[in-house]
């Protein structure tokens, strides 16, 4: 498309602008392609049914633990399939720490108690826990029948609860310190600071173009001053008025020059 700029400053500004536009589009399409590839490779598991219906991510639980016995004795077909998969793959772990380690290494999902998993997620920012819960259990403190410990333990637990000590302990050990980790993993959009190099290139190119334009204007004013035997400042002032002002003075001067000619 035309007309193309003939002055060096106009060519520099035009070239810098097109380089900026092409590089910006290249960054956009590269980021878009990476987002598509990451979404196609990433599998989000939100339920045990989705876990049982896929064969990409391996999963397991603590061997001979209460969680394994629950899946083994369950009549739910989904849970039975999960148990059969763990039996076939021998994907059991000896301890919960081993399951957390395998999960951190990737391509493994550890099945365990929600309270323990919440503690692991709070400590390790790379981990996340599915929201689905099954086989809710209540834990209590057992004591011999008629023991005075029952009353004392009940009173102590109530006092800790009413004083807020239990809430403090929960926030101390279970509260996650991974501030913004979820957003960092899920958001892959281009940020302004990622493109600061492109904008720096654009600003530098526009500055060079402006400097060249001023040098061209000074050179033209100097040549016109020599031809018309006038001062360079007056010619430069009239040139600036003609370019940025109303242009009346420049038009009158050109008309007078033509009449003299």
Task: Report whether pLDDT(254) > 60.
Answer: no
Helix (H, G, I), strand (E, B) or coil at 82: helix
The token pair that represents 235 in the structure block: 């010619």
pLDDT at 186 over 60: no
Radius of gyration of the chain (CA): 37
**Given this model, what pLDDT does residue 102 score?**
92
Q: What is the mean pLDDT of the chain?
A: 80
The pLDDT of residue 247: 47
Percent of all residues in the chain with a pLDDT value above 70, rounded to a whole number? 81
Q: List alpha helices for 110-195, DSSP H.
A: 114-123, 149-163, 165-174, 181-186
DSSP-derived secondary structure for 184-252: HHH--PPPGGGGHHHHHHHHHHHHHHHHHHHHHHHHHHHHHHHHHT--HHHHHHHHHHHHHS--HHHHH
Give the mean model confidence (pLDDT) for residues 133-160: 85
The tokens of 22 are what?
């092409």
58 — phi, psi (to 5°)?
-85, 155
Q: Taking the mean position of all CA atoms in its chain, how far away is CA 29?
A: 16
Residues 214-248 pLDDT 10s: 888 888 777 777 776 677 777 777 777 776 665 44
């Amino acid at each position: 498309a035309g007309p193309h700029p003939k002055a060096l400053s106009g060519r520099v500004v035009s070239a810098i602008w097109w380089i900026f536009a092409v590089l910006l589009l290249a960054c956009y399409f590269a980021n878009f392609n990476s987002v598509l590839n990451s979404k196609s490779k990433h599998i989000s598991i939100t339920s045990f049914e989705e876990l049982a219906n896929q064969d990409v991510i391996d999963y397991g639980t603590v061997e001979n633990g209460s969680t394994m016995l629950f899946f083994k004795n369950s009549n739910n077909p989904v849970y039975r399939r999960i148990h059969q998969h763990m039996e076939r793959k021998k994907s059991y772990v000896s301890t919960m720490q081993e399951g957390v380690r395998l999960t951190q290494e990737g391509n493994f999902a550890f099945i365990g108690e929600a309270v323990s998993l919440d503690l692991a997620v709070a400590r390790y920012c790379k981990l996340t826990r599915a929201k689905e819960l099954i086989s809710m259990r209540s834990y209590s403190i057992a004591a011999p029948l008629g023991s005075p410990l029952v009353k004392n333990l009940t009173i102590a637990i109530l006092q800790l609860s009413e004083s807020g000590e239990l809430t403090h302990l929960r926030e101390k050990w279970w509260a996650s310190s991974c501030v913004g980790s979820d957003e960092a993993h899920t958001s892959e959009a281009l940020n302004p600071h990622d493109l600061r190099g492109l904008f720096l290139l654009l600003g530098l190119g526009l500055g060079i173009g402006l400097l060249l334009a001023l040098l061209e204007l000074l050179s033209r004013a100097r040549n016109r001053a020599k031809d018309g035997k006038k001062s360079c400042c007056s010619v430069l002032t009239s040139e600036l008025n003609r370019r940025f002002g109303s242009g009346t003075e420049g038009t009158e001067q050109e008309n007078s020059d033509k009449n003299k000619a």
